[in-house]
Copies of this chain bind each other. A is one copy, B any other.
């Protein structure tokens, strides 16, 4: 069950350097080197993998690495109201972001439409963003 750092990294689709980077940031455990197996080598279990995958998912949800560190601290702790607050805040930010993207989508769609006919001549790109 024990994994090396490169197996751990592979399992989450990240690079070894990234794992170490997260360890330095306190996002991941940095286990004591153990004497089982290779001398001085660290190894990792399924929990580490879950945690690493969590970091990537939470990043996908737009949390910064330091927010993720806070979430992880909460997970170990008991401050549910704080956890809910963070979730709510992020949820609002996500909704705003989605709205912003929908707007951008319209502008781009307009750009594509206005450039649609003809293959030469100026195409009013700046005007397409005046919405």
B-binding residues in A (CB < 8 A): 50-51, 53-54, 57-58, 60-62, 71-72, 74-78, 80-81, 83-84, 87-88, 90-91, 94-95, 97-98, 100-105, 107-109, 111-112, 115-116, 118-126, 129-131
Q: Which residues does chain B contribute within 8 Å of A61, judged by CB atoms? A: 104, 107-108, 129
Chain B CB within 10 Å — which of A119, A124, A131 has the most?
A119
Q: Measured between alpha carbons, how far is A54 from B107 in the docked complex, in Å?
A: 11
Can you name the residue of chain B whose Cβ is closest to the Cβ of A126?
B54
Query: A116 is contacted by which of B84, B95, B129 (Cβ under 8 Å)?
Result: B84
Asked if A91 and B75 make an inter-chain contact with CB atoms under 8 angstroms apart, the answer reads: no
Q: Quick one: copies of this chain in the complex?
A: 2
Known A78-B122, A80-B119; further 9 A-B contacts with Cβ < 8 A = A57-B130, A60-B104, A61-B129, A71-B125, A78-B120, A78-B123, A83-B123, A87-B115, A88-B112
Can you name the residue of chain B whose Cβ is closest to the Cβ of A87?
B112
Asked if B50 and A126 make an inter-chain contact with CB atoms under 8 angstroms apart, the answer reads: yes
Q: Which residues does chain B contribute within 8 Å of A104, judged by CB atoms? A: 57, 60-62, 94
